[in-house]
Amino acid sequence: MPPVALDTAELRKFGETWQSHNESLSRTPPYSSSQLGNLFERAVAESLAAMLGQIQIVVPKRTALIPPQPDCVEIGDVRVIGGVRPQNFDVVYRPDGVRFAFDAKTLNDSKSVEKNWQNMVNDLSTEATTVHSRFPYAVVAFLVAIPKPCLQGTQQAAMIETLERLGRRTDVNDPVYLAEAICLVLWNPEDGTIHPEVPPSDSPLRLEMFAQQVQTSYVNRYKGLPPHASF
């Protein structure tokens, strides 16, 4: 799976909006909080589609329970009926049931980080549980993106420790609330770059490790099975 490549030029435009709107993003375009999530999900979808043989990326109907074509990566609000509740994911691959499910989570201002990050962690666990309890072989992955100025000190350390603990499901018999891969992206609103030192270089939350973690889990579970001839 190719590394997930984020468009720093586009991130810089979100950063300009963030700076001009009192260090926050609006829910309405242009450069809204939802559009920022779309930027991350598109990058993950493109990397996944390349790993799977350059298959097509499609947008399904919001209520569709099966993919619109036999072998494709779905992007947008993809409906998954899991063991806990129906849940929309940003990127899904489900040629014969869910094999991969991904959500991007963004916290876009200091107040939101302080107030909502623990609720976000609960959401990650619930989403992983709802997929794994019905599809135990599925690879569940998350990307958490936060402007670097909004996350500092003890809160930063606590978030890194928590996300590292939740992103360590390597075996199908591991707890269902864990994810196979989680990455934390701290981006600089001034120039759209990704912070080079946080998370630390040895953390599994590093963006450059995300694709390899997804590929390792996927290949271990699906190598040689249709629709793949080989990896």
The C-alpha angle with vertex 222 and arms to 216 and 228, in degrees rounded to 5, equals 110
Q: How many CB atoms lie within 10 A of CB 12?
A: 17
Element (DSSP H or E) covering residue 103: strand 100-106
Q: Residue 123: how many CB atoms within 10 A of its CB?
A: 15
Q: Please check the confidence at residue 231 and state whether its pLDDT lies above 70.
A: no
> What local confidence, expressed as pLDDT, does residue 35 receive?
94
Q: Residue 215 pLDDT > 90, yes or no?
A: yes
Residue 65: other Cβ atoms inside 10 A = 12
Q: State pLDDT tens for residues 75-110.
A: 999 999 999 999 999 999 999 999 999 999 999 999
pLDDT band at 230 (very low <50, low <70, confident <90, very high): low
* pLDDT tens-digit readout, 35-65: 999 999 999 999 999 999 999 999 999 889 9
Sheet holding 181-187, edge to edge: 56-58, 72-81, 86-93, 100-106, 139-147, 181-187
CA distance 202 to 19: 31
